[in-house]
Structure 1
Amino acid sequence: MLTIDQATYDAIVAHAKRDHPDEACGIVAGPEGSDRPERLVEMVNAAGSPTFYEFDSTELLELYKEMWAKDEEPVVVYHSHTATEAYPSRTDIGLASEPGAHYVLVSTREHGNNDGPVEFRSYRIIDGVVTEEEVTVVPQLGSN
């Protein structure tokens, strides 16, 4: 199960709507081993595409260096689908290289960058196997 605070949820949705019709992407880092998505990092979709996303390799390397220095790890890896449901494509599954991460997909197909609900779903993707998980949005993350 993914537990995420309202502010982070809203920021991911806002990023997806803002980048529509291109796919948005980013990472939410958290303390290593905590499963707590605490620090949202919006990334550039280097592909600049409505059907594909790709992290900029230099930007991603810098983020990983920063996370290592802060004893953080990617808790959530997110991106948007602009014309299809919020379910990982074969490409998404192939790119899923963080077995401990929650893979969040936001579909903006219904309302684009206008007001209106989005489809917000989370998955675990391990060795090519996709498992959907429940998403719980809380006012703020409590302390463990």
Structure 2
Amino acid sequence: MLTLTRDLYDRIVEHARADHPDEACGVVAGPAGTGRPERFIPMLNAARSPTFYEFDSADLLKLYREMDDRDEEPVIVYHSHTATEAYPSRTDISYANEPGAHYVLVSTADTDGAGEFQFRSFRIVEGEVTEEKVEIVESYAEANESTG
């Protein structure tokens, strides 16, 4: 299950809507080993495409160095689909190289970036896609209270 704060959820959706009709992409980093998404990092879609996203290689290298310096890891890798449902494409699956990450997809199809949308999370490990439940909390303290 992916648990994330309302603020992070809103920021991911806002980024997807703002970049529509192109796909948006980014990362939410968290302290290494915690699985807790904390730091929202919107990225530029270097492909600038409505059907494909690509992280700029220089930006991605800089991001990984920064996460390493901060003892963080990518907890969520997100992007939007502008013309299809929020489900990983064959290309998405082939590029999924973070087995510990949650892959979040937001579909802005048929919304022109506004209105109803899909927000779904998946684990993608060695080409195998598994959808997982998404829990939105106001704070991680609230999530700990409900599970503890």
**TM-score, normalised with respect to structure 1:** 0.97
Instruction: Supply the distance in 1 between the matched residues of 2:58 and 2:81 (Cα, whole angstroms).
Output: 24
Tell me the SS of whatever aligns to 2:76.
strand
- Which protein has the bigger helix share? 2
How many residue pairs get aligned? The number is 143
Q: Deviation at 1:140?
A: 1.4
2:86: which partner in 1?
86
1:63-142 matched pairs, under 5 angstroms:
63-114=63-114, 116-142=115-141
Amino acid at match of 2:38: E
Instruction: Supply the distance in 1 between the matched residues of 2:88 and 2:138 (Cα, whole angstroms).
Output: 27
Instruction: Supply the distance in 1 between the matched residues of 2:65 and 2:117 (Cα, whole angstroms).
Output: 32
Instruction: Supply the distance in 2 between the matched residues of 1:92 and 1:142 (Cα, whole angstroms).
Output: 33
- 1:9-60: CA deviation from partner (whole Å, max 9, x where unpaired): 0000000000000000000000001010000000000000000000000000
Q: Percent same amino acid among aligned pairs?
A: 65
Amino acid at match of 1:48: R
Amino acid at match of 2:10: D
Instruction: Supply the distance in 1 between the matched residues of 2:126 and 2:86 (Cα, whole angstroms).
Output: 20
Q: Which runs of 5+ in 2 are unaligned?
A: none
Q: Deviation at 1:142?
A: 1.9
1:22: which partner in 2?
22
Q: Deviation at 1:133?
A: 0.2
Instruction: Supply the distance in 2 between the matched residues of 1:102 and 1:112 (Cα, whole angstroms).
Output: 26
**TM-score, normalised with respect to structure 2:** 0.94
